[in-house]
């Protein structure tokens, strides 16, 4: 399975996919990038005349790249049709704003993966290499009941 295949297996589509490309993956972590296009709808109202990417979207971007993509990699891409991916925990620290048009890099390192639960430590950096946010994320991969 290639890094491109992992992105294709994400259970998201436009306008709610926040992963452009994966740069690296192994059993301990993953790195990927996303560019926040200026046309994204949430910029129209967050904030007036000074748009900033909402923290919840930064968290989602980190979860899609750093948690879900890593989970897909760890499972070898073996997602069945009844697979459910659930975001269960986030403890985030926001350090700098991310503006429309900015490209970010997310790096995630596995803390543990057992019984279908994945917990990671993730960092998002801007193109200048500055940390814009970091946190601990967790989620579950299970089958529909």
Dist CA 95 CA 136 (whole Å): 15
Strands 21-26 and 83-94: unpaired
Residues in the chain: 145
- 108 and 121 Cβ atoms separated by less than 8 Å: yes
Q: Out of 12, 17, 42, 46, pick the active-site residue.
A: 46
Instruction: Tell which phi-psi region holds residue 111, choosing left (phi > 0), alpha (psi between -120 and 50) or beta.
Output: alpha
For this structure, is 109 an active site residue?
A: no
Active-site annotation, residues: 46
């Amino acid at each position: 399975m290639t890094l491109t295949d992992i992105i294709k297996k994400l259970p998201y589509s436009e306008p709610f996919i926040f992963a452009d490309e994966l740069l690296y993956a192994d059993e301990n972590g993953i790195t990927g990038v996303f560019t926040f296009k200026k046309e994204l709808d949430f910029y129209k109202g967050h904030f007036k005349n000074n748009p900033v990417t909402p923290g919840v979207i930064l968290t989602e971007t980190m979860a899609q790249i750093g948690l879900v993509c890593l989970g897909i990699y760890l499972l070898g891409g073996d997602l069945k049709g009844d697979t459910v991916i659930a975001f269960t925990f986030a403890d985030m620290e926001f350090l700098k704003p991310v503006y429309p048009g900015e490209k970010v890099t997310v790096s995630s390192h596995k803390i543990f993966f057992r019984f279908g639960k994945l917990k990671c430590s993730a960092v998002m950096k801007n193109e200048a290499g500055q940390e814009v946010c970091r946190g601990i994320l967790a989620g579950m991969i299970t089958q529909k009941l």
